[in-house]
């Protein structure tokens, strides 16, 4: 994706712009693909940027779509929130064709979205971004006590785990009893 299109999101995909010509060698025109998340907002992304995602790269590598075909067939990621997909697309654009630095300052900063972002990145198989996100998750508990870690990572206490287990057993027992009663009723 060219710089003018970075972060472009619209219900109708924008027309691709022409990549700047190099004086040294004729450039191969860049191909673009389209993705959308749960919100159906379509993002136009270059094949180069999408190479970060092993999942999408695998999908597009043998397609040989024309621009029109690609536009007509955006990849649907219904399990990813639109704003999360936007973050991922932004990151892929920023790191297109570049080696990712050891300390990435372009990481998405919204901590409240981190959980969903990690799941999305994991699903899309973006290895480097996943490592960064997991590192950020790990960094959340640096220097914290177990009580604080429990709070940050929403880890139930042993008592809460035991209560939940009891509750689950109780529910399962009730359900089993209900099924037995229903089966007996059917038999009558």
Partner 1 sequence: MVFQMPIALLKFPNDLLREVFRLCNPFDLYKISKCSKKCSQRSITLGGAKNWKITYSGGNVITIWVDGSNYNFNQADYPEDYFQMTIGRYSNYMDIEFPNGGGVDLFFYLLDTLGIRIVKSLEITFGTIANVAKVAKVLADRKMEVEHFVIGNVEEVQDVVDFMPTLSQMNITQEFHCFLNFPPDFHFEFVKYPRKVVITDSSWFTIDQLFECTCVRIELEKSTFNNHDLDAFLQKWKKAGTFPNLRRLQILSDFIDDESPIQEMIPPIQTFNNPRIRVSIDGHDGIVDGVRVTKDDGTVGWLKVEFGVWPELNFLIVDPTDTVVEEIHDDVDDETDDEW
Q: Which member of 59, 63, 72, 152 binds partner 1 (CB under 8 A)? A: 152
Give me the least distance between CB of 118 and partner 1, in Å please: 6
Site string for partner 1, 153-172 (x = CB under 8 A): xxxxxx--x-----------
Site string for partner 1, 51-90 (x = CB under 8 A): ----------------------------------------
Site string for partner 1, 106-145 (x = CB under 8 A): -----xx-xx--xx--x-------xx--xx-xx-xxxxxx
> Given the structure tokens 């999101």, which residue do they identify?
9
Both tokens of 155, joined, read 């880890």
Bridge-based pairing state of the strands 75-76 and 42-46? unpaired
Helix or strand (DSSP H, E) at 35: strand 32-36
Q: Alpha-carbon torsion 152, 154, 155, 158, what sign? A: positive
Q: Which member of 15, 27, 67, 151 binds partner 1 (CB under 8 A)? A: 151
Residue 27: which residues within 8 A CB-CB, separation 6 or more? 19, 21
Which of 33/91 has CB closer to partner 1? 91
Which of 14/140 has CB closer to partner 1? 140
Do 37 and 24 touch, CB atoms closer than 8 A?
Answer: no
Site string for partner 1, 26-55 (x = CB under 8 A): ------------------------------
CA distance 83 to 113: 9
Which of 40/127 has CB closer to partner 1? 127
CA distance 37 to 95: 21
Instruction: Tell me the angle at which helices 127-139 and 114-124 cross, rounded to the nearest 10 degrees.
Output: 150
CA distance 138 to 153: 10
| Residue ranges that bind partner 1, judged by CB under 8 A | 111-112, 114-115, 118-119, 122, 130-131, 134-135, 137-138, 140-146, 148-158, 161
């Amino acid at each position: 994706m060219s710089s003018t299109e970075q972060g472009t999101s619209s219900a109708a995909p924008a027309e691709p712009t022409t990549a700047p010509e190099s004086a040294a060698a004729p450039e191969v025109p860049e191909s673009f693909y389209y993705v959308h998340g749960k919100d159906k907002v379509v993002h136009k992304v270059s094949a180069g940027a999408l190479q970060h995602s092993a999942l999408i790269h695998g999908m597009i590598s043998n397609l040989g779509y024309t621009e029109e075909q690609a536009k007509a067939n955006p990849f649907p990621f219904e399990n990813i929130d639109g704003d999360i997909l936007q973050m991922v697309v932004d990151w892929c654009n920023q790191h297109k064709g570049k080696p990712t630095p050891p300390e990435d300052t372009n990481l998405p900063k919204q901590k409240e979205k981190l959980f969903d972002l990690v799941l999305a990145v994991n699903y899309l198989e973006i290895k480097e971004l996943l490592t960064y996100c997991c590192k950020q998750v790990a960094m959340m508990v640096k220097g914290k006590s177990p009580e604080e870690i429990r709070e940050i990572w929403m880890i139930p206490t042993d008592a809460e785990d035991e209560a939940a287990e009891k509750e689950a057993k109780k529910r399962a027992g009730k359900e089993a009893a209900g099924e037995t009663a229903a089966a007996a009723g059917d038999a009558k």
